[in-house]
Amino acid sequence: MITLYGVYRSRASRPLWLLGEIGCDFTHVPVIQAYRLTDAKAEGAALNTSSPEFLAVNPQGQIPAMEDDGLLLTESLAITLHIARRHGGSLGPADGSEQSLMEQWALYAATALEPPALEILLAIEAGGDTLPETRAAIRVSAEKLRRPLNRLERHLRAHDWLVGDRFTAADINTAECLRYAQGHPELLRDYPQVSAWLARCQARPAFQAFWAKREAEPV
């Protein structure tokens, strides 16, 4: 039985979306980021990334973490790949080559997409187009995304999905890392295949169900 630690408004989104796609039973422990707790009462009450009980699970003090039949994993993209491989049926790899491709897309998402996409999200939250410094920061980060997005756009001209011409955990990992840049639609408009693929991913009932639960969580 899987135990997944982490609230919906976090990188736990990746395995939570996947678990919804699979429809398997799991125990959800909604650990919240310690920095999001503002008053002392909440800090005492909510299980958070600084709670001793959670640090005993993940000494790094970050979510998500996952236990599955004695196996502990503490990286969101590795958790998603593991769940897909062991429990995901067609959402996981059919053979060793697909496994390698899924690992490739996870590493691409973590190294080429997530850092600049997250910079865009943070700059938008800090002022976006209204301040010269955040406007400049968004421009710089968007430039960093262009070469990786060229690579993804080219792939999606020939395929609807990233691996095996079906929706898999590779799409979840990559779409969730790129989601951070969605507040900059001018950038994504330059990549029509990527935009259409992202829309296909996010139209899935399991994404919509995950998103409704995320929206229901306090900001």
Ligand X SMILES: N[C@@H](CCC(=O)N[C@@H](CS)C(=O)NCC(=O)O)C(=O)O
Q: Which residues bind ligand X (CB under 6 A)?
A: 10-11, 33-35, 49, 61-64, 75-76
> Residue 64, preceding bond cis, omega within 30 degrees?
yes
For ligand X, give the closer residue by CB, 30 or 61: 61
Buried residues in 80-107 as b, exposed as e (16+ CB within 10 A): bbbbbeebbeebbbeeeebbebbbebbe
Residue 77 beta carbon to ligand X: minimum distance, rounded to whole angstroms: 6
Residue 175 neighbours by CB distance under 10 Å: 25
Residue 172 beta carbon to ligand X: minimum distance, rounded to whole angstroms: 13
For ligand X, give the closer residue by CB, 62 or 141: 62
SS3 category, 160:
coil
Residue 9 beta carbon to ligand X: minimum distance, rounded to whole angstroms: 8
For ligand X, give the closer residue by CB, 47 or 146: 47
Distance of CA 183 to the CA centre of its chain: 15
DSSP conformational letter for 64: -
Q: For the CA atoms of 200, 201, 205, 207, what is the dihedral angle to 10 degrees?
A: -150
For ligand X, give the closer residue by CB, 120 or 156: 120
Residue 176 beta carbon to ligand X: minimum distance, rounded to whole angstroms: 10
